Structure 1
């Protein structure tokens, strides 16, 4: 009897597992998705890589993979995502992209989005508050890992060492423990070629400049770089950089480069070499609304964001040292206007609750300093005036002492005769 009961329970479990619907999971597991993030939707991750049909807002899609990568997401990616495996459909996953910036910024200290195999790169974390409760993570494929965070208390910044390991691409981000506050996501990609087309590691924003660099591993002398968009030649340059001054949707596409170079730092007679890069996708997005900073007077600044949503209710001001772009510090002021007190770079943005507006343009403030030659001139003029005043004072005192009224004073005796002789000598000298 007991064996029959056990058998029935096993059969029920088998039937239940066989008929279990797949589920859609978002990776990384962000509580809020911000514009510009790279995210992956996974169908039944535990079930392995099965043939999968995806539906977006009810429409079947052509991709058959169990995972879907969405790069530099915008509100156009909002909608209902479902997947189907073995005739069974998942419950819908509703994706909502906030057109705001997250609460912290993560960016490479050097370089762009592409690294050679085995290479690593430092990513710098900047936050408005204390860094001690921040932790950082990486998603390689569909596997996530925690990373060590190096905090520099003196400079109030933190960094992580980003490496791809064996993954073709990886997404890095940081989060404040116990809260929903996080940084933007930075995606780095691997190449095994000597020549690489290196776009920025942050999303390309419409209306802003974008620089695409043609880089050769090992730092040889670059003699020429030819850039291509969707296999069509667009520019040749010895500088190795192609700049899009005003990015638009028309600039979307896959870019690559062909480089001619020599390792002349190893040998003066180094042979000429050449090679092609991988094609890298460039996606231009609108991005969050940007604040604007206007100088009202010599020391006063005014912040405005006409395109910000109504949830943006307060102003945040920042000061950065001239010699350290990662030393940005949030100021205590939260009014629409401020008075600049220290030299440096000033910027502003608006707090919109779940995120921020984009940073404003930067205002370069230098306090009034008198040129050195003017300071020296004023010192010399002041000394000359002091000498002249001293001479005149002494001369006036001597005239008063030797005047007639003084000499007619009584009761001096021999001192009077001595003073008269001194005054006579002084008049002769004058």
Structure 2
């Protein structure tokens, strides 16, 4: 009886000891090195209420026994502890690297969010070869190894199909026997007809993030709403939502709601459904980042000393490695520093044009500017007409004369006569007369010859005692013996008036006249008489009177 009692007491003490045992912090999946962008979980072995500590500081918002680090960053480097039943665990040190892993794991076909039971195809790429590499899958708190079928020993890439995805979240990564490994790819499943798709790697601060709403079995989406938490981000016919210049505040849970129809049922619907929530993680670019200058010079100030530079060209929306030498041909390029166990993040993008291409582009641009200027000049010239036109020389007898008086106070008066009667264009005269600063009257007579025997002349006469008036006589002769005249007479005692008479002869003996008379006592009025003859002895008169009362 006593033996049984002792056994019961021993079992009770063992159970009590287990209850009082210190909790442990366990990391999963178990990673030898943690790189920026990795997803991992910290689990506390305590069974009662759990408290978490980071570098000795309490984390009051964390009450679960599991702490999820969705996207690792250097700021997550430190010591982690949990507390249960009043006991703290030992500290678990974690260091997140300041660079990215040496190899790349990407989705070759498929989407990061798939329907339950579907699969995707992944691709592993390492520039130094894949000998000794294997991949790992973490699902349901267990990690399993994936063997790779590498055909050639010098292969730098390999594709493999993953098993059907049945759990909400599955993590893949690859590594070799040393510290070398690839980044992670996280695949998720959904049972809904609508899913929110995003780039499988975490968003990066300063870059662009694009969310896309997909409908399984159709692309006939009429309208889409995007949400972050309970806030609506956009509502439009577009199936994508772009976040430019990402900041850490973009981190959160997103979903979309779509209105759609099926191709196989065009008469049905439309249907509306909302996707599952998806976590969007944002990471700060690693400190070790390469920079590409306009002179195609790659640099990485914070990288280890023993490193080389590798170049990449954007080809069909994917970066293809082109070696360790700077490119010579035109294209879109980036670079990064590479060393034994890691790489810097990809540099900024630069569009390169060889010098000869730049010269040709400059020449083409210059020719284009000249062509545009010529077209515009002709266009505006056609619309507005020529600004300056040259007077063609019609004969050796044509004259161009311009007289300009000095110390002008008023405008100039120009008289241009080009044709003589009889239809023959013989001479052109241009006369500029200025009446100011002329103390006496100036009298001009211009005769332009018409038929044979006609006379023409220019005569300037100045009458005595005339201080301001001007007298002009123009005679234009037609046939032999014809006589015509232009006469301006100024009567005595009238200081400013002008009298003009124009006579244009027609046939022999014809007489015509133009007469401007100013009556006495009227200071501003002008009287003009125009007479034009037709046949011999006939007379046609026209009188126009213009009065300026002021």
Deviates most, 110-119 or 75-84: 110-119
In structure 2, the residue matched to 1:54 is: 52
Cα distance change on mapping 1:170 and 1:254 into 2, 3 Å: same
Pairs within 5 Å for 1:64-79: 64-79=63-78
Match for residue 210 of structure 1? 209
CA distance, structure 2, for counterparts of residue 51 and residue 250 of structure 1: 30
The match for 1:37 is 38
Query: What is the aligned partner in structure 2 of residue 382 from structure 1?
Result: none
Q: Encode CA deviations 1:153-188: one digit per residue, 9 max, x unaligned.
A: 497311233457442212111001x20111111222
> Matched residues in 1 for 2:278 and 2:313: separation?
33
Cα deviation code 1:279-325 (max 9, x no counterpart): 222222212143122342xxxx31023xx425354232134584594
Q: Is this contact kept in 2: 1:312–1:353, CA < 8 A?
A: no
Alignment correspondent of 1:169: 169
In the alignment, structure 2 segments of 5+ residues that lack a partner are 358-550
Give the TM-score, by structure 1 length: 0.72
Shift of 1:233: 1.6
Answer whether contact 1:249 1:285 (CA < 8 A) is retained.
yes
Q: Deviations over 1:194-214 (max 9, x none)?
A: 111112110100111111000
Distance 1:315 1:273, change over 3 A: same
Residue pair 1:128, 1:330 contacting (<8 A) in 2 also: no
Conserved 8 A contact 2:308-2:339: no
> Does 2:136 match 1:143?
no
Q: 1:116 deviation in Å?
A: 1.8
Rounded Cα–Cα distance in structure 2 between residues aligned with 1:219 and 1:365:
40
Q: Deviations over 1:15-46 (max 9, x none)?
A: 765543222122121122111111111223xx
Provide the C-alpha distance between the structure 2 equivalents of 1:310 and 1:288, rounded to a whole number of angstroms.
11
Q: Is the 8 A contact 2:303 2:337 kept in 1?
A: no
Alignment partners' CA distance in 1, 2:211 and 2:329: 35
2:342 counterpart SS class: coil
Question: Deviations 1:98-125 (Å, cap 9, x if unpaired)?
Answer: 1211111112124553222112111211
Which residue is equivalent to 1:122?
Answer: 121
1:109 counterpart SS class: strand
Structure 1 counterpart SS, 2:101:
coil
Aligned partners of 2:125, 2:349: CA distance in 1, in Å? 17
Distance in 2 between residues matched to 1:152 and 1:364, nearest whole Å: 36
Map 1:190-209 to 2 at 5 A. Answer: 190-209=189-208
Q: 1:133 to 1:366 in 2, by over 3 A?
A: farther
Structure 1, unmatched stretches of 5+, are: 370-430
The alpha-carbon distance between structure 1 residues 161 and 36, as it changes in their structure 2 partners (threshold 3 A), is same
Q: Which residue of 1 aligns with 2:274?
A: 276
Q: Do 1:164 and 1:190's aligned partners in 2 also have CA atoms closer than 8 Å? A: no
Query: How far did 1:359 drift?
Result: 1.1
- Of structures 1 and 2, the larger Rg is shown by 2
Aligned residue pairs total: 350
Q: Is the 8 A contact 2:25 2:89 kept in 1?
A: yes
1:133 corresponds to which residue? 132
Q: Over aligned residues, Cα RMSD in angstroms?
A: 3.3
Deviation at 1:345, TM superposition (A): 5.8
Q: Is the 8 A contact 2:129 2:155 kept in 1?
A: no
Which SS does the other structure have where 1:73 is aligned? Answer: coil
Does structure 2 conserve the Cα–Cα contact (< 8 Å) formed by 1:253 and 1:282? yes
Of 298, 304, 309, 2:299 maps to 304
* 2:247 corresponding residue in structure 1: 248
Q: Which has the higher contact order (CA 8 A, sep 6+)?
A: 1
Greater helix percent: which structure?
Answer: 1
